[in-house]
């Protein structure tokens, strides 16, 4: 535990008995604290508003970094994220790049796997965007 955190403020993974453990996410978490809601972040450079790569894995990396930049404004860290929703423009491209996306996720988020949902959408508002990630965090 970190200083100032209690056992009740740490997220608890919800894993129903007999269910296989999911890979790369949790079925659910229970936690308490200050809630932070992060709007969908895309994989562009937030300062220039330009995409530096057309690769889904690269855009996912940048989108995760953008999520964490917003979270940091509330003094939050990756382990405070309780849930994420990923909106992807191509399920096939996601599956093709899953190894790179997984490595990028671990490089940015560490080994923290919140409750997650991934949804394929026909398009995102920014035409070049291939992924948009929104998140909810709970800071003890």
Residue 108 lies in a domain: yes
**What pTM does this model have?**
0.86
* Residues 46-80 pLDDT 10s: 999 999 999 999 999 999 999 999 999 999 999 99
What percent of the residues of the chain are helix, what percent strand, and what percent coil, each to the nearest 5? 25, 30, 45
Q: Establish if 109 belongs to a structural domain.
A: yes
Domain count, the chain: 1
What token pair was written down for 54?
A: 């057309």
So what's the pLDDT on residue 11? 61
Q: Residue 82: give its domain's CATH number.
A: 3.30.1330.40
Examine residue 21 and state whether it is found in any structural domain, yes or no: no
Q: What is the tens place of the pLDDT at every residue in 83-126?
A: 999 999 999 999 999 999 999 999 999 999 999 999 999 999 99
Comparing C-alpha atoms, which of 25, 23, 29, 61 is closest to residue 138?
29
């Amino acid at each position: 535990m970190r200083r100032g955190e209690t056992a009740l403020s740490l997220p608890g993974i919800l894993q129903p008995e007999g269910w296989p453990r999911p890979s790369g996410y949790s079925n659910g978490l229970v936690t308490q604290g200050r809630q932070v809601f992060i709007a969908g972040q895309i994989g562009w450079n937030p300062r220039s508003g330009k995409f530096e790569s057309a690769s889904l894995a690269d855009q996912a990396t940048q989108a995760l970094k953008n999520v964490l930049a917003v979270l940091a404004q509330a003094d939050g860290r990756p382990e405070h994220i309780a849930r994420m929703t990923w909106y992807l423009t191509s399920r096939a491209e996601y599956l093709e790049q899953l190894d790179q996306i997984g490595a990028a996720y671990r490089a940015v988020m560490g080994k923290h796997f919140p409750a997650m949902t991934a949804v394929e959408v026909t398009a995102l508002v920014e035409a070049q965007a291939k992924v948009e990630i929104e998140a909810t965090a709970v800071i003890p």
